[in-house]
Structure 1
Amino acid sequence: MTRRPSRPVRVLCSALAAGALLTTAACSDGDGEDVSQAGAVARQTPTASPTATLTEAGAQTALITAADIEDDWTQVKGSEVANWHDTLIIGTVDADDFLTGKTDAADCQRLMDGLYTDQLLGKPSGASALRGFQQDESRLLYQVAAYERTDPEESLAWLKTLPQECDQFTMTNAGQQSTVQVIETSLPDVGDDRAGLRITVQGQAHGEPTTLTEDVAAVRVGTDAITVTAGGLEGDEHDSVEQAVKLGTQRLQDVLAGKSPASTPSEIE
């Protein structure tokens, strides 16, 4: 494992504001002066729409728990999660594999670098929180974060192009080559937008042929988003990713609406 760069654990709270339409009947004081100006101003001033801001406390609350995902996942201490990541995802993408050369290679390099840094949607601009789970040799990483207004929209659109642009390519690290394949995966119809990928890396570890499979999902809720990365050397974890996406999106929506997320998972259809 290669130690992952540390990152701030930031988070979220919700603030809701709503205006009320005020009506005041016109009246006069003893001198006949109109004193209904306050009511007129109230009628002319537009009311504020409900808003919610992702804060540290809210982001922590929006994180899923081990009970929200299938099988025998157990939550890992934050200090241990900081050391996660397989050296198989580190390397330089070979531009010779692509018809458009450097352009497509740059997108594929951004994908692999994003996997390593846990910033597939870019660096969060606001609150964020991270939680890790482990099951045998597989790991699941779950993040909730706030972004600039257009960041999650553009990043999700970019992720959707990768199964075509980065279909298969070669990556080199310390003289060792690995083959990477990227395919699209389906996700539950939740949030405002979503994208799912499966990344398979075939290379060498300790002198033996090794295959790493990572399922990746991202879901946008307004300007906030959740990302899930799960997998390992034992195969895909797509079912767990789907469940994390479905329950995790609902938790984030509840937090943004000022509600307390359910303490137990809702039934999965």
Structure 2
Amino acid sequence: MTRRSPRLVRTLTTTLAAGTLLASAACSDSGDTDGGARVTGARASQVAGERQTAGERQTPSPTATLGTDAARTALITEADIEDGWTQVKDTEAENWHDNLLIGKVDVNDFVSGKNQAADCRRLMDSLFDDDLLGRPSGASALRGFTQGDSRLLYQVASYDRTDPQDSLTWMSTLPDKCDRFTVTDGGDKRTVQVIETSLPGVGDAREGLRVTVQGDSGGQPATLTLDVAAVRVGDDAITVTAGGLDGDENDSTKQAVEQGTQRLEDVLAGKSPAASPTD
């Protein structure tokens, strides 16, 4: 399935009650088109006023093509991540954005200059726009959860005409390329740190990162912590972005990865997903 909708620029408005964390589009242009593929909004660097060998693959088990209904069936539930998470409407989750991710990457922070800065800019853009592995070439589905000032976004997507492993390999380089750098947004400066995190040994390949952004939001000091994970299963993949101002969500991310990968593998094998742990 090819994406037919053009990329549209959104006007952002702050949505958290605390007024410090996330923003959603004032006019939503996200939604399901062509059987469920997601159309996303502006990149973080656009808002800030600027743009900028796959590893050896294991042979996946024979699977069916992931369709829209199957992608939705493979989504996790509240019970899969436990710990008091509450599911929100899909239309709300589609419009989540982190204002603290907006900014221009300072090229002077990098030894190799523009090349490293471009990778870090791509990271910030993809986190802001929720397309860490690139735009799915096939069906996709997402689900969002909240807990206090933290949010967890879970996505399932097919990349049958692209290669998610390329993006996973790129992710693996970021703790070295983008270990610490600065972004500026107007007069505000923020420090970003990227480290590698461990994930359960599931799927055909996987990568985990923790991205910490320290700066000011609404005139007050703020630290945004995001745990990010991606798992490939053949030409399909799941991605998880979890965190907020309350601190890391590493345990919930690992639960989402473990339970979600099993659900996706069951769906692709033509099985009904196993019952959630607390069902």
Q: TM-score, normalised by structure 2?
A: 0.79
Q: Find 1:206's aligned residue among 218, 228, 251.
A: 218
* Equivalent residue number for residue 221 of structure 1: 233
TM-aligned CA distance change 1:57 to 1:233, over 3 Å: same
Q: Find 1:82's aligned residue among 94, 97, 109.
A: 94
Instruction: Give the letter for the 1:3 counterpart.
Output: S
* Equivalent residue number for residue 175 of structure 1: 187
Task: Give the total of aligned pairs.
Answer: 231
1-structure distance, mates of 2:265, 2:177: 32
Q: Is the 8 A contact 2:109 2:181 kept in 1?
A: yes
3-state SS of 1:158 partner:
helix
Higher gyration radius (CA):
1
* Equivalent residue number for residue 159 of structure 1: 171
TM-aligned CA distance change 1:178 to 1:50, over 3 Å: closer
2-structure distance, mates of 1:7, 1:55: 19
Matched, 1:131 2:175: no
Instruction: Give the letter for the 1:198 counterpart.
Output: R
* Equivalent residue number for residue 91 of structure 1: 103
Instruction: Extract structure 1 runs of 4+ deviating beyond 4 A.
Output: none
Matched, 1:245 2:257: yes
Q: TM-score, normalised by structure 1?
A: 0.82
Unaligned stretches of 5+ residues in structure 1: 13-48
Instruction: Give the letter for the 2:24 counterpart.
Output: R
Deviations 1:34-57 (CA, angstroms, capped at 9, x unpaired): xxxxxxxxxxxxxxx954101000
Instruction: Give the letter for the 1:249 counterpart.
Output: T
Matched, 1:114 2:126: yes
Deviation at 1:262, TM superposition (A): 1.5
Q: Percent identity?
A: 66
TM-aligned CA distance change 1:11 to 1:63, over 3 Å: farther
Q: Alpha carbon RMSD of aligned pairs, Å?
A: 1.8
1-structure distance, mates of 2:254, 2:106: 32
TM-aligned CA distance change 1:185 to 1:50, over 3 Å: closer
Q: Counterparts in 2 of 1:227-266, with a 5 A limit?
A: 227-265=239-277
* Equivalent residue number for residue 195 of structure 1: 207
Q: Is the 8 A contact 1:196 1:217 kept in 2?
A: yes
Matched, 1:54 2:66: yes
